[in-house]
Amino acid sequence: MTLFVRRFIGALMLDAGAYEDIESDRRAGASAILVIALACAAGAFAAKSLSIAGSPGFAIAMAMMLGWWVVWAMLITAIGTRLLPEPQTRSNPSELLRSIGFAAAPGTLYALAAMPAVAPFVFGLVSLWMIAATVIAVRQALDYTTTWRAVAVCVIAWMLSFGLIAAVGTVFTRPVS
């Protein structure tokens, strides 16, 4: 089994050791970007199949998914390292981004939401799974002693990113008078 596949499966299984391995490997950045791209493509495929968001093209839907992930990742980085660090928190953005990049692995299953009968269930389950994976990634990358601090970082960042993206979406989807 290749290193990428082993890490991908470890990320899906919420294996803290896999996230530690990803965090410490400076060469894992390209693999993390691939995981993010696959998750965004899966989400865009499902959105396009279900005609979500006014049926944007696949490329636009993928760009929207990627934009949301980037905002979430930036907020996690800022909140986790500046607002809610623990005394032993020692991380740099690339370590954290590699880890949370692999935490997007469950997002590859968004493609299953292209089936309308299971779409709400898939979107809900995969979103919770991605949040759980990100919590583990943040806990490991920021050397937190408790999972609760990582939960707080991820939930606060998710709420802020969701609110920001919703606000931006409202501005860009308002009819011009």
Whole-model pTM?
0.88
pLDDT of residue 59: 84
Alpha-carbon gap, residue 44 to 50, rounded angstroms: 10
- Expressed in angstroms, the distance from the first to the final Cα of the chain is 58
Domain boundaries, the chain: 3-169
pLDDT-derived band at 168 (thresholds 50, 70, 90) equals confident
- Residue 166 confidence (pLDDT): 77
How high does pLDDT run on average in the chain? 89
**pLDDT score at 25:** 95
* Beta carbons of 7 and 31 less than 8 angstroms apart: yes
pLDDT in tens, 22-63: 999 999 999 999 999 999 999 888 887 777 555 567 888 888
100 pLDDT tier (thresholds 50, 70, 90):
very high
Q: Is the pLDDT of residue 170 over 90?
A: no
Give me the long-range contacts of 111-118 (CB less than 8 A, separation at least 24): 111/42, 111/45, 111/46, 112/46, 113/46, 113/49, 113/50, 114/45, 114/46, 114/49, 114/50, 116/50
- Residue 112 is predicted with a pLDDT of 94
